[in-house]
Structure 1
Amino acid sequence: MKDLGRLLRPQSIAVLGSGWAENVILQCQKMGFDGPIWPVHPKRDQVGGLRAYASLADLPGVPDATFIGVNRHATVDVVRDLAAMGAGGGICFASGWTEAGEAGLQADLVAAAGEMPILGPNCYGVINYLDGALLWPDQHGGQRVARGVALLSQSSNIILNLTMQARALPVAYVACLGNAAQVGLAELAGALLADPRVTAIGMYVEGIDDAPGFAALAEAARAAGKGVVCIKSGKTALSQATAASHTASLAGGGAASSAFLRQAGVAEVNTLAELVEVLKIFHTHGPQIGPRLCSLSCSGGEAGLVADLAAPHGIDFPEVAPSVAASLGEILGPIVTISNPLDYHTFIWGDGPRTTDVFRTMLADYDAGLFIIDPPRPDRCDPSSFQPALDAIVAAAKATCKPAFPVSSLPENFDEPLAQSLMQQGITPLMGLETALAALRAAQTAAGQAGWRPVQATPARETALLSEVEAKALLAASGVAVPRGVSAPTLSGLDAAQLVPPFALKGLGFAHKTEAGAVRLGVTSLDGQAEMPGASGYLLEEMVSGAVAEVLLGLRRDPVYGLSLTLGMGGVTAEVLADTVTLIWPVTEAEVQGALRRLKLWPLLDGYRGRPRADVTALADMALRLGALMSADPGLEEIEINPVLLRESGAVAVDALVRRAI
């Protein structure tokens, strides 16, 4: 790991170039950077009102951080010179490297840097709002802070837009990765989180270059009490691997990345607004809030809206305990129905002590509370009548030591000065009801398992499909139950004497037998059976009886996350149902069973309306056996069983597709 301290927290800054360099100087001066800034330009006496030096060799000292705003070919020479003089690091601003087909030039840049850290190339830069150091060639919307969150992005425009937020999020650092030729995502994130003044980190991620390193980063952040929240872009693109199986399509796109983030203990969100709101929660309350939420509002309409909007996010509101309900009833009177969400009406509006009693009594029995409140806009209205309710929220939070979130129905209904005032009191206002609910759900992300790391990913490679006979022999050797059967190169060569009908007759050599017409079920005799065109051989198996459900189980190498496990409702309609969950290996039996409970059709496996319960423990055991098999045999590229027939006791792999590297 490189030491990024001097680059991120410089005492001295050098800038190279003209227009872009002038912008860097201006931004540093506006932010109050108190160290020396040394412009370097071979033809100008001054840049940005400061004395310019003709070359790096003429500088009065060795710069801690350098903004390199020259063309790409000159950038390589500058980086080499900086490294030779012992500089702390550089921002490589120019574009035209690997992203433009110039991989060789980018390799030259990395070689020139040696051990000196560089960000980029094709990188906008870094803003340090803690110390006023900006290696940033543009406007931004931030201000000096004593502590706050870090923002890290692989897109310069996305992160520039984030600096313009007016939601009272205190931002300590802004950093771009660019092409990440030398310093990668996990390394830069780790360096930002190492600053004790940083409370959490939010990332816009286009690609994860080191999944085990990223998982280690997330664990270290949690251990330090700092939350990690991420937007992962590109989730709609399917995997580039050949889609010979249902698993390849069902686990493509964002399924694997979302599974990885969940298991690594990273909060995942979909929008920039959600990213900001989760970061506010983490900044104030740490990396996780509890699952038991209450909601309070002075309107039945608001209470109903909260309940309706919460449901799609998987948020429910536990009932009010009888003792708490009794206490609330004494304060609010008999007309108010005590429930969660609670409509406390307006009988106590403006009465600070009674409002505080209600808020404190309700909040004390939950992990966190939502307080729906939309203060009037101060430019046209008098918001003073809302102050007792806001004060009561603050008092309830302090009395219970529980997170209390003022939530506005619309994001613009909290003006920034009011939001900043609340944040300074340790109260996190959340802006926009639906965004707030999504943020709260994300902030409840699992803590992650200590020491969990995905297996090392392997590059894409050519593969060959095993015959079903070979595939099932492999499964059986791992302790997976398969139907009894016989195989032969020709239909006439099949000997069913030792099998009990009815049979399943299959033609070999097809990835999808049903579509090829290569499956016949309920066969009682081979007499009169016609050949299957295109079959390379035949497999005759006893049909499995007593099945409660058909499920899909698939494992496949992932080019980023190592090895993914997909489970879901199976059979020929697997892709139509698209009811699957994905995990990243390694996993435990408890994690597999927990994932199954996230299926929409889980009730069908769990005895819905008197149906027999499927043996999901046997399914989990099968998944663990096959995961161990693929971990031990790096040549295996994919195993899919569709369907696995689940009985009340036991599970049988009825159809198997296995691909091996060649």
Structure 2
Amino acid sequence: MSVRHLDRLFNPRHVAVIGVSHRPDGVGALVWRNLREAGLQGPMWAVNRTPFDLDGAPVFTSVEALPQAPDLAVICTPADSVPALVDQLGRRGTRAAIVLSAGLREGRTADGRSLEQAMLDAARPHLLRILGPNCIGALVPGHGLNASFAPGQALPGELAFVTQSGALATAMLDWANARGIGFSHFVSLGDSADVDFGDLLDYLGSDPHTRAILLYIESVKHARKFMSAARAAARNKPVVLVKAGRRPDGARAAASHTGALAGSDPVFDAAVRRAGMLRVDTLESLFDAAQTLARVHHWRGPRLAVLTNGGGAGVLAADTLGGGELATLSDATLARLDACLPANWSRGNPVDIIGDAPPQRYMDALRVLLGAPEVDGLLFMHAPTAIAPATGIAQACLPLLREAGTPVLTCWLGGQRVAAARALYDEQGIACYATPEQATAAWLQLRDYHAAQAALMQLPQSRAELQYPDREGARALVDAALARGGEWLDELDAKHLLGAYGIPCVVTERVADLDAALAAAERIGYPVALKIVSPQVLHKSDVGGVALDLRNAAQLREAAHAMNERVTHARPDARLAGFTVQAMVHRPQAFETIVGIASDPVFGPVLLFGEGGTAVEVRADRAIALPPLNTVLARDLIARTGVAALLRGYRSRPPAKLDAIVDVLLRLSQLASDLAPVAELDINPLLVDAEGAIALDARVRVRPAAPTREGSHLALRPYPSGLERTLSIDGATLRLRPIRPDDGERLSRFYEACSPEDLRLRFFFTRREVPPSELARYCQIDYEREMAFIALAGDTLCGEARAVCDPDNDTAEFAVQVAQPWQGRGLGRALLDQLIEHLRARGTRELVGWCLEVNHGMVNLARATGIGMRGGADGTLELRMALGRSIDSARPHT
């Protein structure tokens, strides 16, 4: 990930268009006209091998002939010329280029490289950033930049739109202009050989002129980069997206178009959910959502009240609310409405105040509903009547709606007779919709967005660390299977793998023949289950390879003979390698669930939970999440399935022990993080009841995995357990480790114990407490670009040192705080040394920070550590320390 030189791409001082031709309909000529008409303040130069007169401007014959190196070059020449041009521009000093040319992936150089790779190789030594190739270009109306061949200009605004489809870009620009929608940035990625979604999310996420980011995505190529940037951007502002390829056929088409593997759509949904973004289904919904999220504030909850002067419109709103929640009005609220409404009002929600309602009736009802504690949000609806003009009602109600502490959406039904009212509310920044369906869809988008944001801020409960009886044994078991050339572990090895991670399994033995099976059954104790062992048979029950509840040796012997005959007939190709004998588990109140690991070609390992048993494929009741999980995420995964309602118990069936499922999911999450070769794992069924959970059957598929950095096969970097260590301070042994999401309670106690002065020195202002949302942000860090080390004395947090790296890994902003009993004892130095060591290992160039001049402890620590200090404004000191990497050695992702 990198935002290096993207300022040259989107805010250039001068631009060169390379490939401007005589033909007025040529791409280069269109780009030139767009640049001229957009009003860029700064020189623009045209380049063509053959000079000609171009609107009175000179045409230069080469890059070398330009008066100076352009900040941005727009390349419109044939594909085979692009690598050489990029090399010339880089040598000249240009640091950003938009390559509109197509065909670079297909074309080849003399040495066999693709033209695209040759272009990237030419750009890399100069850190020259490339948008494209095969794109429409980029528009930044606020800077007068239209470096594209789009048919027209974009209006200025505060929405950023990024798309992989060039054809869609031109259509959306025309659509937005017709509706008066403006943009801070309008960017076509094309093949995104260098600049991609991750880079732009990082750039736009911190851009002060962008209040919301809209994405049209066909595929994601670099999952960890995308997720890291998306999570950072979504914490700052709404990120709303449409993803093509929801259906399998569409996914294949999208992959063919972009040259990237298409992942499973449910997996992409899980990634969006984990990052705190909002996914919508249509392009129109994309802009509706952006407008809604920008205009509706003070979110309180999902309960919506509908105020309308038309009963039919209110019913339609209630019907289209779908999975939303209509507020149930309290007796007190109903009484207040009775006092101000006609006797024939609806006396329920929707609140129908009758078609003859004058402005005062609207205002009275509004005051009641806006003050009702059971109402989280309000949909204000008006259908035109001859009795009360819409404009008068709009003007009368505007002050109430503008100052409301409750989220408000409005719907003005009709055309010309409500146009002025709708325009007034648009102008005042109040969310406004033309139909009840649009308004309720907007409410549901708000609900989903805030649910995703809330998930980012939830702190899991502190829990004991998972203990693994034999983690190295699990690795050895997988390695042995790979060495044998096998793909699927047999049932016993699969259960040994689960056992190594502390997942309870039914007692099982593998045997070679019937006599050994009889002996095993005696050891285990009847009744038992008998299953065949065959590398060629994965679903044993499909071929009659399972016999249950065998109560004695005679039944076992008979079942074994019958089983051999059935399997031989059904699968004559299968090699029978013996049996497994397992204890029968009699838990009549248990629910059958499935848990497992699957591999997505884009996002890597994913975790699955749902209803299990033999009908698992038919019901398809399952949910997916990206590892690593914590307790909050595991519970959310369970809650997103249909079986979750059954697990709560019903009639005489007691509730299942959800904590047992959570524990299994956390252990599978750790297994997925530790063992990259595990490509697929199913526990089906995992029986769950009031006593706990136990795995009856398991399948595990393994595949060779290239040696990589620990956890690098995951889309989200897992907890770096390799950074844990112990530390001795004044004879006391402390644990020093990275912070975890479940440290929220420990961190809260740490801040509560701080004096007001300590908090002022840490945060630069006086505060009594750190709110839960901030605690969540401090604990749920992205280990890919952040680090926080904490020191623990037992379960008490006694110090922290944290750093946040910029997307280019150039600088890391740091902070250190130590609890009062540990100040002046060397703990701050130990924490900071650990942080510096980590940042140096990851290649960060410089450590930066700020502290108050009166923070003598930090000043002394900086001096002792060799950090330089320089006086700043308002009694602050700027702290800087070089960590050893040259800025010129940094490479953007190309």
TM-score, scaled to structure 1 = 0.88
Q: 1:514 aligns with which of 537, 541, 553?
A: 541
CA gap of 1:470–1:619, structure 2 versus 1, over 3 A, is: same
Counterpart position of 2:654: 612
Judge which range, 464-473 or 361-370, deviates more. Answer: 361-370
Q: What amino acid does structure 2 have at the position aligned with 1:188?
A: L
Q: 1:193 aligns with which of 205, 225, 230?
A: 205
Q: Distance in 2 between matches of 1:415 and 1:220?
A: 41
The yes-or-no answer on 1:255 pairing with 2:282 is: no
The yes-or-no answer on 1:634 pairing with 2:676 is: yes
Q: What amino acid does structure 2 have at the position aligned with 1:300?
A: G
The question of whether the paired residues in 2 share the 8 Å contact of 1:508 and 1:539 is answered with: yes
Report matched runs for 1:536-615 at 5 Å: 536-547=577-588, 548-615=590-657
Pairwise CA distance, 1:201: 0.1
CA gap of 1:359–1:162, structure 2 versus 1, over 3 A, is: farther
The question of whether the paired residues in 1 share the 8 Å contact of 2:307 and 2:379 is answered with: yes
Q: 2:500 aligns with which of 471, 477, 486?
A: 477
Counterpart position of 2:754: none
Q: Alpha-carbon deviations, 1:29-78, whole Å to 9, x = none?
A: 33333332212122242335643222222223332222211111112222
Q: 1:391 aligns with which of 366, 386, 395?
A: 395
The yes-or-no answer on 1:4 pairing with 2:12 is: no
The yes-or-no answer on 1:441 pairing with 2:444 is: yes
SS in 2 for 1:35: coil
CA gap of 1:479–1:338, structure 2 versus 1, over 3 A, is: same
Judge which range, 89-98 or 540-549, deviates more. Answer: 540-549
Cα RMSD after superposing both structures: 3.0
Q: 1:370 aligns with which of 357, 362, 379?
A: 379
Judge which range, 40-49 or 201-210, deviates more. Answer: 40-49
Counterpart position of 2:489: 466
Counterpart position of 2:319: 308
Q: Distance in 2 between matches of 1:330 and 1:368?
A: 22
The yes-or-no answer on 1:497 pairing with 2:509 is: no
The yes-or-no answer on 1:124 pairing with 2:136 is: yes
Pairwise CA distance, 1:541: 1.2
Report matched runs for 1:152-163 at 5 Å: 152-163=162-173
Pairwise CA distance, 1:606: 1.8
Counterpart position of 1:74: 81
Pairwise CA distance, 1:393: 5.2
The question of whether the paired residues in 1 share the 8 Å contact of 2:682 and 2:698 is answered with: yes
CA gap of 1:100–1:540, structure 2 versus 1, over 3 A, is: farther
Q: Distance in 2 between matches of 1:101 and 1:55?
A: 24
The yes-or-no answer on 1:403 pairing with 2:400 is: no
Counterpart position of 1:206: 218
Aligned residues: 632
Q: Alpha-carbon deviations, 1:365-399, whole Å to 9, x = none?
A: 444322234679xxxxx999211333355323322
Report matched runs for 1:258-297 at 5 Å: 258-285=269-296, 290-297=301-308
The question of whether the paired residues in 1 share the 8 Å contact of 2:15 and 2:44 is answered with: yes
The question of whether the paired residues in 2 share the 8 Å contact of 1:16 and 1:68 is answered with: yes
Pairwise CA distance, 1:463: 7.0
TM-score, scaled to structure 2 = 0.66
Q: Alpha-carbon deviations, 1:221-242, whole Å to 9, x = none?
A: 2443x110111222323999xx
Q: Distance in 2 between matches of 1:375 and 1:618?
A: 57
Q: What amino acid does structure 2 have at the position aligned with 1:564?
A: V
The yes-or-no answer on 1:27 pairing with 2:34 is: yes
The question of whether the paired residues in 2 share the 8 Å contact of 1:641 and 1:654 is answered with: yes
Q: Distance in 1 between matches of 2:335 and 2:493?
A: 67
Pairwise CA distance, 1:658: 0.8
Judge which range, 632-641 or 317-326, deviates more. Answer: 317-326
CA gap of 1:199–1:28, structure 2 versus 1, over 3 A, is: same
Counterpart position of 2:342: 333
Q: Distance in 1 between matches of 2:280 and 2:55?
A: 40
CA gap of 1:266–1:500, structure 2 versus 1, over 3 A, is: same
Pairwise CA distance, 1:537: 2.0
SS in 1 for 2:587: coil
CA gap of 1:543–1:239, structure 2 versus 1, over 3 A, is: farther
SS in 1 for 2:654: coil
Pairwise CA distance, 1:162: 2.0
Judge which range, 613-622 or 114-123, deviates more. Answer: 613-622
CA gap of 1:492–1:375, structure 2 versus 1, over 3 A, is: farther
The question of whether the paired residues in 2 share the 8 Å contact of 1:336 and 1:345 is answered with: yes
Pairwise CA distance, 1:288: 7.0
CA gap of 1:286–1:632, structure 2 versus 1, over 3 A, is: farther
The question of whether the paired residues in 1 share the 8 Å contact of 2:140 and 2:146 is answered with: yes
Q: Distance in 1 between matches of 2:263 and 2:200?
A: 28
Judge which range, 293-302 or 416-425, deviates more. Answer: 416-425
CA gap of 1:124–1:637, structure 2 versus 1, over 3 A, is: same
CA gap of 1:35–1:113, structure 2 versus 1, over 3 A, is: same
Counterpart position of 1:523: 550
CA gap of 1:516–1:255, structure 2 versus 1, over 3 A, is: same
Q: Distance in 1 between matches of 2:66 and 2:318?
A: 63
Q: Distance in 1 between matches of 2:59 and 2:513?
A: 85
Q: What amino acid does structure 2 have at the position aligned with 1:474?
A: L
Counterpart position of 2:123: 113
Judge which range, 270-279 or 189-198, deviates more. Answer: 189-198
Q: Distance in 2 between matches of 1:414 and 1:46?
A: 54
SS in 2 for 1:135: strand
CA gap of 1:424–1:450, structure 2 versus 1, over 3 A, is: same
The yes-or-no answer on 1:14 pairing with 2:56 is: no
Tell which structure's C-alpha radius of gyration is larger: 2
CA gap of 1:286–1:201, structure 2 versus 1, over 3 A, is: farther
Pairwise CA distance, 1:199: 0.3
Q: Relative contact order: is structure 1 or structure 2 higher (C-alpha 8 Å, sep ≥ 6)?
A: 1
Counterpart position of 1:248: none
SS in 1 for 2:201: helix
CA gap of 1:393–1:503, structure 2 versus 1, over 3 A, is: farther
* Residue identity (%): 28
Judge which range, 546-555 or 94-103, deviates more. Answer: 94-103
Q: What amino acid does structure 2 have at the position aligned with 1:493?
A: A
The question of whether the paired residues in 1 share the 8 Å contact of 2:299 and 2:407 is answered with: no
Q: 2:150 aligns with which of 131, 138, 146?
A: 138
Q: Alpha-carbon deviations, 1:315-339, whole Å to 9, x = none?
A: 1112123333333222213221232
The question of whether the paired residues in 2 share the 8 Å contact of 1:549 and 1:646 is answered with: yes
Q: Alpha-carbon deviations, 1:242-291, whole Å to 9, x = none?
A: xxxxxxxxx97211110111111010111111111111123334797743
SS in 1 for 2:60: coil
Q: Alpha-carbon deviations, 1:284-310, whole Å to 9, x = none?
A: 347977433322222221121112111
Q: Distance in 1 between matches of 2:420 and 2:620?
A: 46
Q: What amino acid does structure 1 have at the position aligned with 2:678?
A: L
CA gap of 1:631–1:116, structure 2 versus 1, over 3 A, is: same
Pairwise CA distance, 1:565: 0.9
Counterpart position of 2:433: 430
Pairwise CA distance, 1:137: 0.5
Q: Distance in 2 between matches of 1:59 and 1:307?
A: 64
The question of whether the paired residues in 2 share the 8 Å contact of 1:7 and 1:64 is answered with: yes
Q: What amino acid does structure 2 have at the position aligned with 1:326?
A: A
CA gap of 1:463–1:294, structure 2 versus 1, over 3 A, is: farther
Q: Distance in 2 between matches of 1:105 and 1:627?
A: 41
Q: Distance in 1 between matches of 2:201 and 2:14?
A: 22
